[in-house]
Structure 1
């Protein structure tokens, strides 16, 4: 009896072990089955080879055609889910917005963005909510953006004068160079007022270029956390810290000058005057305690840095893409230029920004270019705080989420002749920049939508309108419209691979230019 009992007990234990093993395999199989489909994952590197290209949005769009709108990629040691359809984008950005409202921490943002204290990469929580409130209610509100109109007017007329000088020299215009200089000046004066010299702006611009170029999230440490030390060996970390120290030096100088200017105002006047620039607003709010704002200069630098990157890089590159499409489509160029000149003729330059509202075709054309060439083609990565279902598949906690806005805006189920440049498609369309139409996400959607879209668009539209009004543009001799190079390179933003150089002829340029 004891032998039989022992035997039965042994059999029971073995059976239990087998049952647990089978259930584990079944559970793993079920879990694996529910995970989004994706391409073959190689040992150690996973699917990383697919992204070793200057055009990841295109590659990811092509892969999604095979594997579906919710696609799994193992990028090194990181689980990544790519969203390529408006329906699933809505699930991520609206229906499960809170779960995906945080950001992954990347090497470049930790160093260059002051330990993720900026609004773009700050983890979701009380600090980020405070930043968001600060931006939407104070720094980049509609009222504040309107207040910057004199700066936009002055700096875009300086751009007109610069382009006019180049035209008189007979040289072609390197659009990337003049646009970056103009958008940087607008942002600098909006952020700091008159205390930021041209020399300081140039120093900051060069440092920002390094940070943006290295900020794509594909460093070795970002993809292989266990190999973090290789970013030290390759020198990536050193280059990022050099850029950080360069921006620090500029910021420290400017903040000190702004503090001194504010102290001088207090002593010379008892009247309360409205702050003109963003930095002065931040310092006033800090001093008066009107908002729970961390008082350290590091927090201030992180906020201003975001404004610079968003207001300079994306504005300049977007205008360059617009001009590229216009040179490829002469009939659209003729139509939009005729509209601008009809509206602006007989008006003073001071009237131009107010008249932008009347440039309906130009604004449709801008929307179309932002559809084909969104500033952030993969948006900014989201981070899954908890495991949830998207599109019927399980997205595990800790996964990085890439929303392929570039592919979504070319989705043939939502856009007729999706690859074609047709501004008229927006003539009766209700689609706008607000992120409520998930087939069109140039500025994202939901909690982490770009808070500076109004600031950027106001500058972009005035720059473009004045370039079209004051000048005629043509390609270099021997170049046909269908030969315009449209190759792109994607880092943190979508840029032209090669600068656009154009021949310019003045039209009705003011005498002082």
Structure 2
């Protein structure tokens, strides 16, 4: 959610022409103005945008909320924003007024990369979105379907372990970020497409998707200044997004054609069953059988699959990197969790590892604690107010965009003792879970628009982390002390480590028959 100085320049130039009219404000404020949430002073035309010329927007917004309150007004360009920074205010938005805040704003990235809002994440609230949500939870990402992909997780995580082993035997540091992203992407690709998506197609797809995710994490001029939509054209941003969209389309067209051909062959086979179907095949089958009440074309199919990739790759990889960073900063915790994993996995065949994940209670606490401090989407995806209402005693106007600062909520000292301290044991006797019903803990959101793919992502995260801890001992480079390892972030749509984690891996002495 970063705004660069370069982006502000054309806005500032354009503002000169209308600055005089903006300054001619009425001295009498309307009753709705009097009751709007408090917030920092607004500059003419650009409002409070200067506060977000930073790569740490969640931190800045948390600090502003300490001064102005947990329901805070920001005028960003010409658009009203309300920032939510407390569990009580989040509950009002996500539960008490859930329906009123169940839609999404129409953004440039929605129009381009997300196929005009035909995806699950950005589709406006209505019958189409409700159908997609039901399709996702009941068919595409159900608990049964996630279990069905266990063999993919097993194969791809073992492949990652072999890559780490190769780096360790050559004496090279392990660049975890790239290995984790490649592993998460392979798991998602094979679950989504089966075997029809080769490495070259995946690389083309990831390159294009990176453009979209990067743009989605920031502010486009046209999103904040609708009358200045042409600035995104002049700067090339809109053209770049459409170029990425065409590249994604080309990859999807190839994959869908191959999947359709494979499905035709399977119709004559007596050995294939529905249980063997990848997610794309399931969607195409549902589309062909006309089970969905509205017309579904290949564009809809692409939009649905795109969401799965965006939600199942970078967020999973980034979360594991944060977990490993926190473990390296806390050697006692690392020692304790590795003892648990090795006690559980020793003398087990690799293909049986996932069946024993639920026995790793301490590792589960570590994951929860890391997601508290480093939620995958620190500001979530913006909500849009559909009808003027009250939140926290303040009036939120129709059309306002709502930013929920999950990063700040997870570090709220009123909810968490020693909120800035990494202490997994706080979850030992806690009933907090990922369901989004306890508003002090929202790593995957809450309400109608909470992440429908959390089970899919967590299943991959669990096995990736468990195997990294089982197969290797880890140390910092060059004699670095644990307290010297930084946890600085760069927050866009997701919150990455500013300095990627590089570690030295030493293979754990596992009997060879359990390694292969």
TM score, norm. by length of structure 1: 0.93
2:473 aligns with 472
Shift of 1:508: 3.5
**Alignment CA distance shift 1:270-1:143 (3 Å):** closer
- Long gaps (5+) in structure 2: 1-25
User: Could you tell which deviates more after superposition, 85-94 or 265-274?
Assistant: 265-274
Q: Which residue of 1 aligns with 2:435?
A: 434
Higher mean C-alpha displacement, 291-300 vs 447-456: 291-300
Question: Residues 405-442 of structure 1: CA distance to partner in whole angstroms, max 9, x if unpaired?
Answer: 10011100100000000000000011110000000000
Q: State the SS of the aligned residue for 2:353.
A: helix
Query: What CA distance in whole angstroms lies between the structure 1 residues aligned with 2:469 and 2:27?
Result: 65
Number of aligned pairs?
A: 489
Q: Is the CA contact (8 Å cut-off) linking 1:275 and 1:281 kept in structure 2?
A: no
- The aligned counterpart of 1:218 is 219
Work out the CA distance in 2 between the residues paired with 1:122 and 1:72: 25
Measured in 2, the distance between the counterparts of 1:341 and 1:141 equals 30
Q: Render the CA deviation track for 1:130-187: whole Å, top value 9, x for unaligned.
A: 1001000000000000110000001001011111111111100100100000000000
DSSP 3-state at the match of 1:90: helix
Shift of 1:207: 1.2
1:508 matches 2:509:
yes
Q: Which residue of 1 aligns with 2:208?
A: 207
- Structure having the higher Rg: 1
Cα-to-partner distance string for 1:264-284 (whole Å, 9 max, x where unaligned): 111343875434210000011
Look up the match of 1:230: 231
* 5+ long unaligned stretches in structure 1: 1-23
- Aligned-partner Cα distance in 1 for 2:231–2:178: 34
Asked whether the equivalents of residues 286 and 293 of structure 1 are also in contact (C-alpha less than 8 Å), the reply is no
> Is the CA contact (8 Å cut-off) linking 2:192 and 2:278 kept in structure 1?
yes
The structural deviation recorded for 1:29 is 4.4
1:244-282 deviation digits (Å, cap 9, x = unpaired): 111111111100000000001113438754342100000
- Give the Cα separation in 2 of the matches to 1:320 and 1:459: 13
CA contact (8 A) 1:108 1:217 kept: no
The root-mean-square deviation of aligned C-alpha atoms, in Å, is: 1.4
Task: Determine if the alignment matches structure 1 residue 122 to structure 2 residue 123.
Answer: yes
* Other structure's SS at 2:398 match: coil
Q: Which residue pairs with 1:248 in the alignment?
A: 249
SS at match of 1:79: strand
1:337-390, Cα deviation, whole Å (9 max, x unpaired): 110000000111111101000000000000000000000001110000000000
SS at match of 2:496: strand
- Within-5 A mapping of 1:449-468: 449-468=450-469
Q: Distance in 1 between matches of 2:509 and 2:127?
A: 53
- Structure 1 residue 238: Cα displacement: 1.3
1:10-21 correspondence to structure 2 within 5 Å: none
Equivalence for 2:336: 335
Of residues 374-383 and 493-502 in structure 1, the stretch that sits farther from structure 2 once superposed is 493-502
Given that 2:148 and 2:275 are in contact with CA atoms closer than 8 Å, whether structure 1 keeps it comes out as: no
The whole-number CA distance in structure 2 between the counterparts of 1:217 and 1:80 is 15
1:290 maps to which residue? Answer: 291
Distance 1:271 1:72, change over 3 A: closer
- Corresponding position: 1:493 with 2:494: yes
Rounded Cα–Cα distance in structure 2 between residues aligned with 1:273 and 1:122? 28
Within a 5 Å distance, the mapping from 1:178-197 to structure 2 comes to 178-197=179-198
1:400 corresponds to: 401
TM-score, L = length of structure 2: 0.93
SS at match of 1:206: helix
